[in-house]
Amino acid sequence: MLGFEAVSCIYDDGTKAVDNISIHIKQGEFCVLLGPSGAGKSTLMNLINGVTEPSRGTLRFDSLVLNKKNKTNIQRSIGMIHQQLHLVPRLSVLHNVLTGLLPDVSLWRSLIKLFTPDEQRRACQLLDEVGLEEKHLSRRASNLSGGQQQRVAIARAFISDPKVVLADEPVASLDPAMSRSVLNSLKTAAENHNTTVLCTLHQLDYALEFADRIIALKNGRVFFDGHPDELDESTQAELYSLDQSQPVKLEKVA
């Protein structure tokens, strides 16, 4: 489904944010990316959605190589849940979900909010899947709680029937009970639609509870890759141990 073949990403200042990563992620896997700040998690996500290009190596999406020629088509198969959500505060819950279709509908349709009955039914179905009742459909996004807004963001990410959903710290600002509820909604939606999810988290206990697979990064390299049960306490401690070394730097790639 997703394949990294000896992928490295080197920034202009010489920092090697991702260092020779080779991994394969299967269709339908719920993968959690772990690691300390600066480990390379955000860069890895940006490589997948085409925001950042690899300096070396090859990234494959199904049978396609992610490059300038294929980038637009691949991006249409990726849903995003941003840490800041990026909902439109003045729009209703229903229309916020439908904005996930904007890359596939004409500009004039989007400007006048002209979505088909089938598109609206799908949005309602997704909102029901993530636990938002019908009474919330017409509410403005700005009037929702944090957990409700996250559910809208999840439904929006799935509205275009993506093959992959990237979730960047989706529960960073929520309390533990709401965090577990939101992650459960995300995983249920992924299972219902056989969608691959890559989710960055800082909370180790949530990763152990919800992930099918944990990929832990440290200093731009894969430090651990396996089932949550295999991530023992000593490995956890080593992953988050203080690293006194400086970021890896190389000469700028021509």
Q: Are residues 144 and 170 in the same domain?
A: no
How far does Cα 169 stand from its chain's mean position? 8
pLDDT in tens, 139-174: 999 999 999 999 999 999 999 999 999 999 999 888
The rounded distance, in Å, linking the Cα atoms of 19 and 67 is: 19
| % of the chain with per-residue pLDDT over 70 | 91
Domain containing residue 155: 87-161
pTM of the complete model: 0.88
Q: Are residues 134 and 201 in the same domain?
A: no
Whether residue 253 lies inside any domain: the answer is no
Residues 228 and 207 sit within 8 Å (Cβ to Cβ): yes
Residues 6+ apart with CB under 8 A from 211: 30, 31, 32, 199, 228
Instruction: Calculate Rg over the CA atoms of the chain.
Output: 19
Domain boundary among 161, 176, 210: 161
Q: Are residues 151 and 168 in the same domain?
A: no
The rounded distance, in Å, linking the Cα atoms of 39 and 123 is: 36
pLDDT in tens, 202-211: 899 999 999 9
pLDDT above 60: residue 245: no
Q: Which pLDDT band, with edges at 50, 70 and 90, does 83 fall under?
A: confident
The rounded distance, in Å, linking the Cα atoms of 27 and 195 is: 7
Residues 75 and 120 sit within 8 Å (Cβ to Cβ): no
Q: Are residues 98 and 132 in the same domain?
A: yes
Q: Are residues 195 and 139 in the same domain?
A: no
Whether residue 237 lies inside any domain: the answer is yes
Q: Are residues 129 and 28 in the same domain?
A: no
Whether residue 248 lies inside any domain: the answer is no
Q: Are residues 126 and 174 in the same domain?
A: no
Helix (H) or strand (E) holding 65: strand 64-65
First to last CA, the chain: 30
Q: Are residues 185 and 65 in the same domain?
A: yes
* Beta-ladder partners of 164: 78, 196
77 C-beta neighbours (distance < 10 Å), count: 14
